[in-house]
Chains A and B, each alone.
Chain A
């Protein structure tokens, strides 16, 4: 039932909507009065100094953290009202590329990429072709049997991206996907994200790499959100 609503939502309401959101770690406010709507098919960068709360904001978007004030709506559902199983279903619609990737280190890359299929009870045999295609797309076809600790930084990021899109989610949230890779690799990752955006996916990328944002602006209509002084600002054209 969750999947059925997608098409109509794409026409109208925001995919993810933060409404006057605040977050308090207990040692003071980190974010306050944050309101933003991610429209379907939009491409957003989230930037700001280290420790400003980029990761926190992204975690709030996919429900890994609960806001201390305000509301988070995802796919027209109040995230606060979801029970744990509904939250799991929500995460299948939001592909997340974690800052440090997070793999199961005892399973080969291909099984890690297929993990969202496994945990949602899909038949892997049926998805075999998709999986191979995805591996080719991220350029990991010949590394599919390697264990995650054997991968380079760029390979890990690409594997994490492949894992985040395997269930064909509506939104992809990537936290510093180019943090540990060289310029060439970050361009390649950006390329993959741009392609996903052209396929209609909503993209939110946290980065402090301004040249990456500039490179993206040549290819897609990307908006830049900047966290500054606990608030979220829409950055101007000065970037």
Chain B
């Protein structure tokens, strides 16, 4: 198929032929069912898309932020804590592959514990270990070597390089994204199946019309076009409405916040808001292909 004929067919599809449209009788109720199905599918697709984008962002952020950070925890009696912290910082600064190392202040530690113990916690009175944030350089440091050296010189230090709990989190976020993508594909497939059923029903209901058209010399392309145009435009308009509602729903969801953790921020960000606009076009494409195939098959069975 040349691009010329494809362009011509697309133009014919969009502009349409008022006369050709009239040869197939209006279908009323089933038309509304197609509209509804396309709308519902587009609505679901918007959420699946939002989920896929958000979980993708989450996976990237976690992988990125957590990969380069590690925590050094110093469990020492209160009187030795300052000395051990100083010693640990000194070691870290000497270690190749460590970009920076910084001891958390008492306020920062209090803020980290606040969600669990409340803001009014007298931190000084508790034997809270000192935390040191270690930012890795590129290439990174040798974790085993660092652990051995710390063990010898700062007995109370424990290096936690986050990999242990980062990976399952990133894996979870990635699986969530995969699930969302699979959902989008399933939605497209289900829509294709529904349009195929609807188109087949319409073709069967109009068997008499098709027979008359064949009798007076209509080519298959002409007959198919009348049905394809109908279903494509229905899917397009139905999906556009569904997408509108879906985007409204996403827009009304609470914005990303620290308190809500990863459950918020499921919406679109920036240019991501343009992505759902592809859903009606995709729906129309699915309808076009489904109706074309159904019409081709059914017309091929006739003489």
- Asked if A85 and B212 make an inter-chain contact with CB atoms under 8 angstroms apart, the answer reads no
A91 to B220, CA, bound (A): 13
Q: Which residues on B sit within 8 Å (CB–CB) of A85? A: 219-221
A96 at the interface (CB under 8 A from B): yes
In the complex, are the beta carbons of A65 and B212 less than 8 A apart? Answer: no
**Structural contact, B209 and A104, CB atoms closer than 8 A:** yes
Chain A CB count within 10 A is highest, among B213, B214, B219, for B219
Q: Which residues of A contact B213 (CB under 8 A)?
A: 115, 119
Report whether A119 and B217 are in contact in the complex, using a CB–CB cutoff of 8 Å: yes
| A120 B217 Cβ-Cβ under 8 A | yes
**CB within 8 Å of A: which B13-38 residues:** 19-20, 22-23, 25-26
Kindly state the separation between the CA atoms of A66 and B302 in the bound complex, as whole angstroms. Answer: 12
- Interface contacts beyond A119-B222, A120-B218: sample of 14 additional A-B pairs, CB < 8 Å, sorted by A: A64-B303, A84-B300, A85-B220, A90-B217, A91-B216, A102-B211, A102-B212, A107-B23, A115-B212, A115-B216, A116-B217, A119-B216, A119-B217, A121-B222
- Chain A, 74-99, contact with B by CB distance < 8 Å: what is the 0/1 string? 00000000001100111110001010
Write 30 A-B pairs (CB below 8 A) sorted by A numbering.
Answer: A65-B303, A66-B303, A85-B219, A85-B221, A89-B217, A89-B219, A91-B215, A91-B216, A91-B217, A92-B216, A92-B217, A96-B215, A102-B212, A104-B23, A104-B25, A104-B209, A104-B212, A106-B26, A111-B22, A115-B212, A115-B213, A115-B216, A116-B216, A116-B217, A119-B213, A119-B216, A119-B218, A119-B222, A124-B19, A163-B216
Residues of chain B touching chain A, judged by Cβ–Cβ distance below 8 Å, are 19-20, 22-23, 25-26, 208-209, 211-222, 299-300, 303
The smallest beta-carbon distance between B294 and chain A, in angstroms, is 16
Other-chain contact of B19, A88, A89, A103, A118 (Cβ < 8 Å)? A118
Task: Determine if A216 is an interface residue (Cβ-Cβ < 8 Å).
Answer: no
The answer to whether B220 touches A98 (Cβ under 8 A) is: no
Q: Which residues of B contact A163 (CB under 8 A)?
A: 216
Contact B23 A119 (CB under 8 A): yes
Distance from A38 Cβ to chain B, minimum over Cβ atoms (Å): 19
A52 interface contact, C-beta 8 A: no
Residues of A within 8 A of B26 (CB): 106
A41 at the interface (CB under 8 A from B): no
Residues of A within 8 A of B19 (CB): 118, 124
A111 CA to B21 CA, complexed, in Å? 13
Residues of A within 8 A of B209 (CB): 104
Question: A97: shortest Cβ distance to chain B, in Å?
Answer: 10
Q: Is A154 an interface position by the 8 A CB rule? A: no
Please state if B22 and A107 are interface contacts (CB–CB under 8 Å).
yes
Given the complex, which residues of B lie within 8 Å of A40, measured CB to CB?
A: none
Chain B residues, CB < 8 A from A153: none
For A169, the closest partner residue in chain B by CB is B217
Q: Report B-chain residues with C-beta under 8 Å of the C-beta of A105.
A: 25
In the complex, A167 has a CB within 8 A of chain B = yes
Residues of B within 8 A of A103 (CB): 212
B224 to chain A, nearest CB (A): 11
A67 CB-CB contact with B under 8 Å: no
A22 within 8 A of B: no
- Chain B residue nearest to A96 (CB atoms) is B215
Contact pattern, A 153-178, Cβ under 8 Å of B = 1, otherwise 0: 00000000001000100000000000
- Would you give the shortest CB distance from A142 to chain B, in whole angstroms? 23
Shortest Cβ distance from B220 into A: residue: A84
The distance in angstroms between the C-alpha atoms of A102 and B221, with both chains bound, is 21
Query: Shortest beta-carbon distance, B47 to chain A, in Å?
Result: 40
Q: Do A88 and B212 form a contact, CB below 8 Å, given A106-B25, A111-B22? A: no
Q: Mark A100-129, 1 if CB is under 8 A from B, else 0.
A: 001111110001000110111100100000
Closest CB-CB distance, A204 to chain B, in whole Å?
A: 16
A-chain residues with CB within 8 Å of residue B20 when the two chains form the complex: 118-119
Chain A to chain B: the 7 pairs with minimum beta-carbon distance, closest first: A119-B218, A92-B217, A91-B217, A88-B219, A106-B25, A116-B216, A102-B212
What is the bound-complex CA distance between A98 and B221, given in angstroms? 23
Q: How far is the CA of A63 from the CA of B302 in the complex (A)?
A: 11
Return the chain A residue nearest B26 by Cβ.
A106
User: A115–B20 Cα gap in the complex (Å)?
Assistant: 10
Is there contact, CB below 8 Å, between B214 and A91? yes
Q: Is the CB of A167 within 8 A of B212?
A: no
When each residue 135-167 of chain A gets 1 if its CB lies under 8 Å from chain B and 0 otherwise, what string results? 000000000000000000000000000010001
B221 contact set on A, CB distance < 8 A? 85
Taken together as a complex, chains A and B put the C-alpha atoms of A91 and B223 apart, in Å, by: 15
Max chain B Cβ within 10 angstroms of own Cβ: one of A85, A89, A115? A115
* Option from A65, A102, A124, A167 in Cβ contact (under 8 Å) with B217: A167
Contact (Cβ within 8 A) A98 B217: no
Contacts of B220 in A (CB 8 A): 84-85, 88
Closest to B299 in A: A84
